[in-house]
Structure formats: C-alpha cells, structure tokens
Structure 1
Amino acid sequence: MSTNEFGLSARECERIKFSFSIYDFEGKNMVDGFYAADVLRSLNLNPTNAMVEKYGASVGKKGEKLFKETDFFPMYADLKKDKDQGSYEDFMELLLTYDKFEDGQVTLMELEYILSNLGEKLEKKEMDEWLKILAEKPDDDDQIPYRSFCEKLCAGFRG
C-alpha cells in the first residue's frame, strides 16, 4: 500500500477529500477554519479546540483563515497518532468513580462538574446543549443514567 508524504494511505486521502468537500460550502476548494474541527471530527478524530488552533484554525470566528484540501493531510496525520482521545471505557470508568451507589447513575450536578472542569472546559451554555442532546432527564433525585450518556457521546466518534 502506497502512502503520501504524511504517511497517509490513498483511502485516507480520499476520505479527507470527501469530508473536505462537504464543508466547502462555496465550491472554491477552501474551507473556513471555523469548520476545521468539524472536518476532522467527521473523519472519526477527536481534536480539542487547542489542537485545531495549533494549525491556525479559528474555533470561535468565521472568516479568519481558509484551508485548502491539502492542509488537512498533516492535521489528520498528527491527530490520528494522538492516543489520548478518551474511549467509551475511559468515560465509563470516570463516571463510575462518581457512582456512589453503584447503580449506573450520577447526579446532574456531578455530570455538570465533569463536563465543565475536566479536559477541555465547556461553558455553561455549551454544557447545557450537550446535556440536552446526550443525557436523559434527571429523575426526582436528580440522578442521570450515565451508560446511555456515554454511548451517545462516543457514538459520534466511532463513525
């Protein structure tokens, strides 16, 4: 199997080109850096905002930098080597430490703490959006089952 200068196979290059084309909204063979993380996440990578910003992408503002298709090859190559992305098992193990009664549930407050303080920090608004999408509604004791939360969270990264 042949590889390019970044060690990527022809199949990986085709996948990058396809994902790039989805975010090339104007058909100018350019993607706004605002969407760089989305392109990489569509390739089953899990970059943090800091990782993407390292390549000059602007996570918070549109129109600051445009990327060509080939700009994603070194980003993809570097990020696919990153083994510290967290897996379903890692998230389950973390949440188990907050499961006082070992019943598969954590309090909403504990889940909010985890989302807002561990790893890449989430703002309250972002955290509320993630919880709305991924978590079941808390029961009367403010408990949330975390297995389904982890399954939904990790489903987006498994492809």
Structure 2
Amino acid sequence: GSVSTQKEHVLEGFNDLIRICTIKISFGYFAKPHSSPAMGSCHQDEEFMETYQLFDTKGDGKVQVNQVGDLLRALGQNPTEGDIQKLTQQHKPEDRITLETFIPIYYAISNNKTRSHTTADDFIEGLRQFDVEGNGYFSSVELRHLLTSLGEKMTDEEVEQLLVGQEDAQGNIHYEELVRVVLNG
C-alpha cells in the first residue's frame, strides 16, 4: 500500500542526502571553509575548473553525463536525481559533455535555490520517520547506524567526518541542524 511507497520515497530522499554527504566529504567540504563559485565567474574560478578537471577522466575537456550529479555536488550544489535527469535527459548517460554544455546545467541548479529549501525539509521529513521519540534528535549511535546501513550506505570514516562537532553533551545530534549544515556546507 501507500506505506511502502512512502518508505521508498523517504529512502530516495535519504539516498540523495547520502550522495551529497559522500561527495562533499570526499572533496573535503567539512574540513575547510568553502565558498561556492560566484555567479558568472565559472571559467575564471580556479576551484570550479579544478573540480571540473577531476571529473574529466580522459583529459579531453569533457565529463560523462552520468557524472554530472556528482560534479554538481562536488561544486557545492544539492541537486536531486530527479533534477539531474531533467537537465540531462537529451543526453545518454555514457555521453560526454563539454564545459559549455555543463555550465548552463550548473546555473540551472545553482539558481534554483527554492529547490534546496524544499529538499532540506524533505530530508528532515524523511529523517523524522525514524525519530521514534519525535524530539528532533538522534543519538549519534542511531544516526551512525542509519547512515551506514540504509540506502547508499556511507562508510564509518565518512560518518565520522560528517558528525564531527555535531554531538551535544548527551551524545545526541539535532538532525535538522545537520541537514542544513550538509546542504549549505
């Protein structure tokens, strides 16, 4: 019935959140203060270009379409899989696109600020399903378990990096706060 589809929907959102966490962790987002590229300065933005080049595995100035989502996340955006599919639907997943093709996709996502707010609420709503006490907190043990066992599982090291400095004195984590840190981090 509708309960299982609701659970699936929650899991889908959870997967998006985990993808965002993992890619941002692998790019050291939580380790250093980060500024996202200013509008209009993509070509000049060193960090933007460095990140783009990391995804250009053949060195031909192009990235594979099925990497676009991860590239966007590495650049500090928070697209959902749905967003990415809409923006890349005219390409096959194995196609390779140029920087000129990628930049409008980047702007479409980065301009779509309202989407990331609803996404934050979606993620929070999803996590709320697992919040038995309904107090807005998980024990760090519970949250670790969720992140390493659900959907696109995270590794223990990734979870460690994500949760550093998030625990309160009782070892609890305010997950709304955490989601906002991840999405804005």
TM-score (norm 1): 0.56
* Higher RCO (Cα < 8 Å, 6 or more apart): 2
- In 1, Cα distance between equivalents of 2:71 and 2:136: 37
Match of 2:97 in 1: 67
- In 2, Cα distance between equivalents of 1:105 and 1:66: 42
Give the aligned residue type for 2:78: N
Unaligned runs of 5+ in 1: 1-7, 116-123, 137-143
Match of 1:85 in 2: 116
Partners of 1:29 and 1:69 within 8 A in 2: yes
Unaligned runs of 5+ in 2: 1-38, 164-170
1:103–1:151 Cα change, 3 Å: closer
- In 2, Cα distance between equivalents of 1:50 and 1:93: 18
- In 2, Cα distance between equivalents of 1:64 and 1:37: 13
Larger-gyration structure (1/2): 1
Question: Which whole-Å deviations, capped at 9, do the CAs of 1:33-66 have from their partners, x for residues lacking one?
Answer: 12111111121111111211223369xx9x6211
- In 2, Cα distance between equivalents of 1:152 and 1:27: 35
* 2:86 counterpart of 1:54: yes
* 2:133 counterpart of 1:100: yes
RMSD in angstroms over aligned alpha carbons?
A: 4.4
1:37–1:147 Cα change, 3 Å: same
Aligned residues: 128
Partners of 2:120 and 2:179 within 8 A in 1: no
Match of 2:154 in 1: 130
Give the aligned residue type for 1:12: C
Partners of 1:87 and 1:154 within 8 A in 2: no
Match of 2:174 in 1: 147
Instruction: Give the share of equivalent positions with the same residue, in percent.
Output: 17
Query: Structure 1 segments of 4 or more deviating over 6 A?
Result: none
